[in-house]
Structure 1
Amino acid sequence: MSEAVRDLFERYHACWADRDPDRIAALHAPDSIFHLHSGGKPARGRAEIRAAAAANFALVPDLTFELVNLRVGDDFWTVQWTLTGTSVVGNPVDVDIMDLVLVADGEVLEKHTYVDGVAMQAALTPPAV
């Protein structure tokens, strides 16, 4: 395992745990990609990545991450999380995600997040009246 990649993971995760889109974007390479694989297009470049992270935090303002599994290599990490919190519509969030993150020169090149779409949609659907 690369200690430099593990250190980048720790710093990057701290930005997500702190819900800080500016710090998240700063750890990405200028031409990086963040793709939340839930039907939307990838965010490209730091400005779009910052906006995408902020939009995600707006959906679950009290978002927390529970680490399930982490694997770190020389130029990547992959991590499984359980996300919890309360969605913007007031529903509980309990969603599994998997990240594949490619890195080089101390920066994130690509972040691909695969989400349990059924659980996320349930969390974001307003309660029936």
Structure 2
Amino acid sequence: MSTESTGWMAKYYAAWDSADVDAITHWFADDVVLEDVPSGHAARGLAQARALVEGSITKVPGATYEVVTGLVSGDRFAVEWIMHPVGLRGSSVGTLRDGKVASNRDYWNAAPAED
């Protein structure tokens, strides 16, 4: 992972690890679109995104994210991650605008990761 192009990614996932809703939503553009593809949940705009983040933190308290690999190309990004302690493997694909997440689609597999 190139720290020059993906430095924001470490900070973004650190915000998720902190479970601080304000720190997480700080990374979202005002018109952000978030999609959890496997579950069919979506959020459009900051208010809905905040509700999605709060729900996620409530459903999986204490979750942290191990970034396996991350790529950024222009305004597009992709990241593979493992959510601990449950071992949920997933990937996020999206776009950035002015250093903020403009769109994010999550894809994950409920089968736990094997070490």
State the distance in 2 between where 1:40 and 1:112 align.
Answer: 11
Q: Which secondary structure does the structure 1 equivalent of 2:41 belong to? A: coil
Following superposition, the deviation at residue 106 of structure 1 comes to 1.4
Deviations 1:76-114 (A, max 9, x none): 2211111122xxxxxxx1210101121011111101110
* Counterpart position of 1:39: 39
Name the % identity: 28
* Counterpart position of 1:104: 97
Unaligned runs of 5+ in 1: 86-92, 121-129
CA RMSD of aligned residues (A): 1.9
Q: Which secondary structure does the structure 2 equivalent of 1:97 belong to? A: strand
State the distance in 1 between where 2:56 and 2:83 align.
Answer: 12
The letter of the residue matching 1:110 is S
Following superposition, the deviation at residue 2 of structure 1 comes to 8.8
Unaligned runs of 5+ in 2: none
Larger radius of gyration: 1
The letter of the residue matching 2:79 is V
TM (norm. structure 2) is 0.84
Following superposition, the deviation at residue 30 of structure 1 comes to 0.8
Deviations 1:14-46 (A, max 9, x none): 211111222221221111111111233311111
Whose strand proportion is higher, 1 or 2? 2
TM (norm. structure 1) is 0.76
